[in-house]
Structure 1
Amino acid sequence: MTQKQAKRPSHEVYVVEGEGDKTHWTKVGAAWPHDDGEGFNITLSALPLNGRLVIRKPKPQEDRG
């Protein structure tokens, strides 16, 4: 793990399945930006077999309800 990764990740990684009202988001990892800003290091806690990966900035804690 790099020194950058020891800090809190800048983004969360989700696998998203379905569309519209039937969309299901599952958090599967985290992402840290490269020092040059040109990419990310991504750590996954699960490997999705279906759906699509989405990387988003985390919402503030009070918005997560």
Structure 2
Amino acid sequence: MTRTTTNNRPSHAVYVVEGEGENAFWTRIGAAWAHEDGDGFNLQLSCLPLTGRLVIRKPRPKTDGELAQ
């Protein structure tokens, strides 16, 4: 059994990305929690995409006037 971190905040955000480069459209669809051993993630998705690719990223800190990624 793989143990997850005890922190309730997700360590990463999950996005579906459609398109490429500056024309890509990113939609946040879930969250990910890194395992304590660093070898995997638990994912919680609010929907399943039919197209595009899944991207898991560490959230960026918010800046004035900007939403966090």
Shorter-chain TM-score tier: 0.7 to 0.9
Structure 2 distance, partners of 1:57, 1:27, is 12
Per the TM alignment, residue 64 of structure 1 is displaced from its structure 2 partner at its CA by: 7.1
% identical aligned pairs: 61
Report the TM-score, using the length of structure 1 for normalisation.
0.84
| Structure 2 portions without partners, runs of 5+ | none
Q: TM-score, normalised by structure 2?
A: 0.80
Counterpart contact for 1:5–1:32, Cα < 8 Å: no
Moved over 4 A (4+): none
- Tell me which residue corresponds to 2:34: 33
Deviations, residues 8-63 of structure 1 (Å, cap 9, x unaligned): 10000000000123210000000001121110000001110000000000010217
In structure 2, the CA distance between the partners of 1:63 and 1:9, relative to structure 1 (3 Å rule), is: farther
- Structure 1: 5+ residue runs without aligned partners? none
Q: Which has the higher helix share?
A: 1
Indicate the residue corresponding to 1:62 in structure 2.
Answer: 63
State the number of aligned residues: 64
